[in-house]
């Protein structure tokens, strides 16, 4: 695995034996290193080209440390919304600030990667999964498979009106029933729209904001189906 730079994005790249690629977007405050070890579980034969992209936005994660992100989140506002039981309104009724600009930047990156790829699978965790979904809705022809780990509903009106454009994309979604960051009920609400696509699977698990091994096993099968 090596670090490279494409279209102003820092990327951890692991090259496989085929021309099928996976673009992975990390969660808020993390980095491209956080999800990089997953390829060893998801692609034991090392057939895929893995692109773990680093979010260019630097955010304070406490104790004087910085993490990476795709768009800013008012963490104080999110906590207040959760306390007031208004978390549904925090994302679902709005277009998150900065998500559209970053979406378009990532689309240019993915187009560059796809020049050398027969198929491209896109996905991520938490904020990275929100970003992935935004990309798929904007440029559905770029994405051959989509995986959303601990995602949430955002910009509900747009998703409701445009799900028909992503019907051809197989989608994998997972979420913990005890997620303290992005509540489970919002993943279920997102599910009501995404399950309208031609091939869709939703997996819940007893846990929080995480990716447990049973989910990795199911995701491995999902990615393998794309190579059959």
Q: What is the pLDDT of residues 172-225, one digit of tens each?
A: 999 999 998 888 999 999 999 999 999 999 999 999 999 999 999 999 999 998
Q: Report pLDDT for 89.
A: 64
Q: Report pLDDT for 72.
A: 85
CATH of the domain at 111: 3.40.50.1820
Is the pLDDT reported for residue 93 higher than 70?
no
Is the pLDDT reported for residue 76 higher than 90?
no
Average pLDDT value over all residues in the chain: 91
Instruction: Quote the percentage of the chain above a pLDDT of 70.
Output: 90
Is the pLDDT reported for residue 7 higher than 80?
yes
Is the pLDDT reported for residue 227 higher than 80?
no
In this prediction, residue 75 has a pLDDT band, given cuts at 50, 70 and 90, of low
Is the pLDDT reported for residue 126 higher than 90?
yes
User: Which pTM value belongs to this model?
Assistant: 0.93
Q: Report pLDDT for 84.
A: 63
Please state the rounded mean pLDDT for residues 107-134: 96
Q: Which of 105, 56, 58, 96 is nearest to 78 (CA)?
A: 96
Is the pLDDT reported for residue 79 higher than 80?
no
Contact between 18 and 120 (Cβ < 8 Å): no
**Helix-strand-coil percent breakdown of the chain, rounded to 5?**
40, 25, 35
Q: Which range marks the domain in which residue 145 is found?
A: 2-225
Per DSSP, which regions of the chain are E strands?
2-6, 9-14, 20-25, 49-53, 57-62, 65-69, 119-125, 145-149, 171-176, 200-205
Is the pLDDT reported for residue 92 higher than 90?
no
Contact between 184 and 178 (Cβ < 8 Å): yes
Tell me the per-residue pLDDT of 38-60, one tens digit each, with 9 for 90 and over. Answer: 999 999 999 999 999 999 999 88
Q: Which residues pair with 124 in a beta bridge?
A: 25, 148
Q: Indicate the Cα dihedral angle 47, 42, 49, 37, nearest 10°.
A: -130
Structurally, the chain folds into a number of domains equal to: 1
Q: Is 181 helix (H, G, I), strand (E, B) or coil?
A: coil
225 to 52, 75, 127, 144: CA distances (angstroms): 21, 37, 25, 11
Please state the rounded mean pLDDT for residues 104-112: 97
**Within a 13 Å sphere around the CA of 186, how many CA atoms are in the beta-carbon half?**
25
């Amino acid at each position: 695995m090596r670090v490279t730079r494409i279209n102003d994005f820092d990327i951890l790249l692991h090259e496989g034996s085929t021309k099928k690629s996976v673009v992975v977007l990390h969660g808020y405050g993390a980095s491209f290193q956080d999800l990089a070890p997953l390829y060893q579980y998801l692609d034991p034969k090392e057939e895929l080209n893995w692109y773990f992209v680093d979010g260019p936005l630097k955010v304070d994660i406490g104790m004087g440390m910085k993490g990476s992100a795709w768009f800013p989140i008012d963490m104080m506002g999110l906590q207040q919304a959760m306390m007031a039981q208004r978390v549904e309104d925090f994302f679902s009724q709005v277009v998150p600030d900065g998500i559209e600009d970053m979406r378009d930047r990532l689309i240019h990156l993915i187009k560059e990667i796809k020049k050398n790829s027969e198929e491209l699978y896109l996905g991520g965790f938490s904020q990275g999964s929100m970003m992935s979904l935004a990309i798929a809705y904007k440029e559905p022809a770029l994405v051959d498979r989509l995986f959303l780990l601990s995602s949430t509903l955002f910009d509900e009106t747009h998703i409701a009106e445009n799900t028909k454009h992503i019907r051809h994309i197989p989608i994998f979604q997972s979420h913990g029933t005890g997620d303290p960051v992005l509540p489970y009920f919002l993943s279920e609400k997102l599910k009501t729209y995404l399950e309208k696509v031609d091939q869709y699977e939703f997996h819940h698990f007893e846990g929080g904001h995480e990716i447990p091994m049973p989910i990795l096993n199911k995701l491995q099968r999902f990615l393998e189906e794309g190579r059959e």
